[in-house]
Amino acid sequence: MNTITLTQPDDWHAHLRDGKALERTVPDLASQFHRAICMPNLVPPVKTVEEALAYRARIMAHVPEGVAFDPRMVLYLTDHTSPDEIQKIKHSEHVNAVKLYPAGATTNSANGVSDIRNVYAVLEQLEKYQIPLLLHGEVTHSHIDIFDREKRFLDEVLQPVIQQFSDLKIVLEHITTADAAQFVLAQGRKVAATITPQHLLFNRNDMLVGGIKPHFYCLPILKRQSHQTTLLEVATSGNPKFFLGTDSAPHAQDAKENACGCAGCYSAFTAIELYAQAFDQVGKIERLEGFSSHFGADFYGLPRNTQQITLVKEDFVIPESFDYLEDQKIIPLLAGKTLQWRKM
């Protein structure tokens, strides 16, 4: 197969940042996707429907003319989120979900939830109105090995939540382990997961062997090859519980290539080509459309897109860098490397 035509895909987990960063991130993401779930971990975070709509307006100001891009907004869950705010989401045209970051888990997560029991009243409202809870699924205790934090979250935090709120819609975002894949498979239809291109294409050897490669560093961190293999299996299985979420996150080159480098991979500009590469490597390119274009919309209760895109099997070199924030650069995922698929 040398060409494939897909329903236009959506990105169900993306970071655009704010301010001048939007000049870079919005056109890149809008060139690939019709809709995107826009993460709320700004400084300060997006905590109310009013703040989410104001953020959406700032994003829309940077959408290129003639491009149909529909940012879908998310509220940042804190220990002090009011349950009344959830009812406002139900009546909002553009706000679709609430995001739970365990406090200290990743970039700009200091305001996250310190104990899941603090937000049970909010979870009751999410369950009542069938609004998805999006989870960064890691515990943050310093004594727990970073490679075990996703598994511990499943056992110690998420399993009790599901037992307490059996009808709650949950997206376990950017899963990285066989444990998470098997956990999602074991749950009912209300529990789904997103998977990033980096966790399908790479494992911790790619990040560590021959020297640390900071542009592969993300959270949750890349795991063993056996976990990568399982993620590829479920992503390409045609199971609607698994769908596309890039977790594309812009960081300036000097912040990534640093003694304490930032976590996050920038994939917005070439995301669908990266996923095509992963699916084709295991001979499942025909399963890409469901994963990228159908299953996420279905889970969120939104209509599937009607426009189409075409990918051609043709060598495509990812740019070495992109301009970002005045004189700074972003180094994209697989900068300077050749992919075998290109979006026409």
> Mean pLDDT over residues 147-166, rounded?
95
4-30: per-residue pLDDT in tens? 999 999 999 999 999 999 999 999 999
The reply, when asked if residue 215 is annotated as ligand binding, is no
Which residues, listed in sequence order, are joined to residue 100 by a DSSP beta bridge? 135
Q: Do the strands 191-195 and 170-172 form a parallel or antiparallel pair, or are they unpaired?
A: parallel
Residue 287 neighbours by CB distance under 10 Å? 16
Place of tokens 């009344």: 84
264-301: per-residue pLDDT in tens? 999 999 999 999 999 999 999 999 999 999 999 999 99
For residue 320, which amino acid is it? Answer: E
The reply, when asked if residue 17 is annotated as ligand binding, is yes
Place of tokens 């939007």: 22
Q: Considering only CA atoms, which of 197, 195, 200, 198 is closest in space to residue 184?
A: 195
Which residues, listed in sequence order, are joined to residue 311 by a DSSP beta bridge? 4, 343
168-219: per-residue pLDDT in tens? 999 999 999 999 999 999 999 999 999 999 999 999 999 999 999 999 999 9
CA separation for the pair 168, 164 (Å, rounded) = 9
* 27 backbone φψ class: left, alpha, beta (φ>0; ψ -120 to 50): alpha
Which residues, listed in sequence order, are joined to residue 102 by a DSSP beta bridge? 113
The reply, when asked if residue 294 is annotated as ligand binding, is no
Residue 252 and residue 214 in contact, taking contact as beta carbons nearer than 8 Å: no
- Domains of the chain are 3-343 (3.20.20.140)
Quote the pTM value: 0.96
The reply, when asked if residue 263 is annotated as ligand binding, is yes
pLDDT(323) > 80 = yes
Which positions are catalytic?
Answer: 247
The confidence score (pLDDT) of residue 103 equals: 77
Q: Do the strands 95-100 and 322-324 form a parallel or antiparallel pair, or are they unpaired?
A: unpaired
pLDDT(1) > 90 = no
